[in-house]
Amino acid sequence: MEIYQFSQRQTIIMAILVLYLGKYLTKNIKFLQDYNIPDAVAGGVLASLFFGLFFAVFKWQIEFTLNVRDALLIVFFTTIGLSSKLKTLLQGGKPLLILLITAVVYLILQNLAGLGVAKVMGLDLPIGLIAGSVSLSGGHGTAIAWASIFRDNYGIAKASEIGVASATFGLVLGGIIGGPVAKWLITRNRLRANNQDQDLTVGIKQSQRNVNIDYNTMLHSILVIGLTIGLGNQINYWVTPLGLKLPDFVPCLLAGIILTNTVPLVLKRFPWPANTPSLALISDVSLGLFLSMSLMSLQLWTLIDLAGPIAILLLVQFSLSIIYTVLLVFPVMGKNYHASVVCAGYLGLTLGATPTAIANMTAVTEHFGASPQAFIIVPLVGAFFIDLSNAFIIQQFLNFLT
């Protein structure tokens, strides 16, 4: 087997080409366009399949340098924070609490489903947890973080492989199903955005023309993003001694929220970039490249040995997520347009990760209209509250199994 390592420059070029491929596919394949499949998901999945076939035929393994991917994630969540007005945050207070409670309940159901399938299939019960909230709601980071505990304390030798496999397929499934479910809810209930002309939080509307993006607004946006990330890093430095360990992008999101609701009140003449097309474009490009890199770098051939059991577990989790979202999340969130966008994001959260959730919501809003409230509550639940709740719930389930 030969390994070909792409440099950072080559990785970025490949990610752009994959994103171009996704945009071409969603533009020319009616199904992908009609059901709001994100460009990065369409292109990234096809690219990962191509590299997998390349490995199977030639035994050549392509590896990418992914340092810039993590930086893009931080930039993306910073732009989300900078777009978060206090008025919208206050409006999102009650929906945020409702979604949080709903999401915590689902973490329990997700693990119960995993344990049930594991028992029926004759697998070690902890595998059901790994293919439950550990890897699906938790994502790759949580799966890797808990792998040693499952391996050392519960005898699951391939805990890391099972967790990564589940998180990988969950990421793809979450990106594929969010848009179609949201479209079905919108058309079935004849829903419309409250303000069809409102600017999007991420991206530009498909029908929008003559968008005003100029040198100055782009330069202001880049400057403010850089300053906000600096404050976010400082916040992380302050809270770490308190025992509060946060992913790097979370304090940057919080820093964006703080600055966008204070600085414009003090420096009234400074052209703050919140809710400008320039900031929305930076946000969209960062998210698209992040997901393209994440999906094109999936090494699918490492998951073949686990394909059977993982496929059955994920099929059950996939079905449960859709049923729960349609029958519970949509009604409790208000059965309105914002609720349908939240559902698109929520499916990304329960099967993939927060960036997948945002990509789903972006694809839906670019087609149907803005939903700023959804872009506040879903990232806050997915990027902060769920990780804390999930760690506690996983530990309680493990205590029950011992």
Q: What is the arithmetic mean of pLDDT over 359-373? A: 85
Predicted local confidence at residue 331, as pLDDT: 95
When pLDDT is averaged across residues 99-106 and rounded to a whole number, the result is 93
Confidence of residue 249 (pLDDT cuts 50, 70, 90): confident
| Percent of the chain with pLDDT strictly greater than 70 | 88
pLDDT (tens digit per residue) in 49-81: 888 888 888 888 888 998 888 888 889 888 878
Lowest mean pLDDT of 50-54, 81-85, 110-114, name the range. 81-85
Percent of the chain scoring above 90 in pLDDT = 26
Burial class (CB in 10 A: 0-12, 13-18, 19+), 59: exposed
DSSP letters, 125-192, are HHHHHIIIIITTTTHHHHHHHHHHHHHHHH--TTHHHHHHHHHHHHHHHHHHHHHHHHHHHHHHTT--
- In the prediction, which pLDDT does 41 show? 81
pTM: 0.73
pLDDT in tens, 168-210: 788 888 888 998 999 999 999 988 877 655 555 565 555 455 5
Q: What residue segments make up the domains of the chain, in order of their start?
A: 1-204+286-399, 213-282
Burial of 250 (0-12, 13-18, 19+ CB in 10 A): buried
Distant-in-sequence, close-in-space partners of 266: CB < 8 Å, separation ≥ 6: none
Question: Within 10 Å of residue 148's Cβ, how many Cβ atoms?
Answer: 11
pLDDT tens for each residue of 315-348: 999 999 999 999 999 999 999 999 999 999 999 8
Task: Indicate the pLDDT class of residue 383, thresholds 50, 70 and 90.
Answer: low
Please indicate whether residue 212 or residue 322 has the higher confidence score (pLDDT). 322
Rg (Cα) of the chain, in Å, rounded? 21
Compute the distance between CA of residue 339 and CA of residue 336 in angstroms, rounded to an integer: 5
Mean pLDDT of 236-265: 82
Structure tokens at 339: 């609720």
- Alpha-carbon span 280 to 268, nearest angstrom: 21
Assign 152 a pLDDT band (cuts: 50, 70, 90).
Answer: confident
Residues 6+ apart with CB under 8 A from 232: 74, 78, 248, 251, 252, 253, 254, 255, 256
Range among 122-131, 132-141, 204-213 with highest mean pLDDT value: 122-131
What is the pLDDT, as a whole number, of residue 388? 67
Query: Comparing 247 with 101, which gets the higher pLDDT?
Result: 101
